[in-house]
Structure 1
């Protein structure tokens, strides 16, 4: 109940607590950003706002995103490669390298285009006040929820629900738009993501 009350006034920046106003750690701090990422997917609005203002969060977010994409690729793309190149270890290694490079570039383009277009829509039509770097920092940190797609039978649904929730909270907190509007944008992003996911050519 407290959560709902604390978000009634979208677009109005809440007073910063000492925790939120504290500067990010200096130097190499992967454990801090990993905790921040888990807090973001737990709907912690303070962590979302902290990440949005932390320029270092972008680099850690990219790293965590790349690890997540790699995990998804290894969970979905390795078996077809093993079946095709089982008799040739060298060909298998080359296939893995090229497949990994392709999926990273492909998914990188999808993420940037999806989030960029939806941020522009929010800005042009819904009066969003955030900036794209502020939006993408917490979203990259929270993107790892898409690894739920590897769960048998319910993975696609679980990943879709979790990612929609993260998107909705980030757009609400960072772009300052209403929750219903944020949900609409988030659902639209996920529809595009799922369509493009199925459009990804499978290894032959």
Structure 2
């Protein structure tokens, strides 16, 4: 499917477009929340998305700072930001813009994290995702490594930080429901 449409004639493309215009929309209570661009994060630096060493150094400093503040406050649990940095940032980037040269997906403003129902995002975090092409990296699932509460924390962090949503209220029970439905 990835390269098939490039072989279509102009007439075929017009016919497909005409057909798609008359297909009725499917009514659903799940829809995209409009993106608020002003709430999206700016890249940490102009080069960090493409400079893997700069990203690695930033990630190491961020992890050290978060661990130090947690130790100083007497907390043993990881914050949602800590969970993201530990489990997600090495691929999706410390700022959500990923590593395009390594074919990792940027998640900033991604439509799947702005859905009213976050089930698809929860499912991807829990079970992973195959790359779009055979050469693309495959995202691992974390349902065996993280608790439902931790997956909910990462889901909420990603939706607010990188989706530009004002809030997100996914809880462990939502994660448990999605895991049961997809198992």
Give the TM-score of the pair, scaled to structure 2: 0.35
Greater fraction helix: 1
Give the TM-score of the pair, scaled to structure 1: 0.32
Q: Higher relative CO (CA 8 A, sep ≥ 6), structure 1 or 2? A: 1
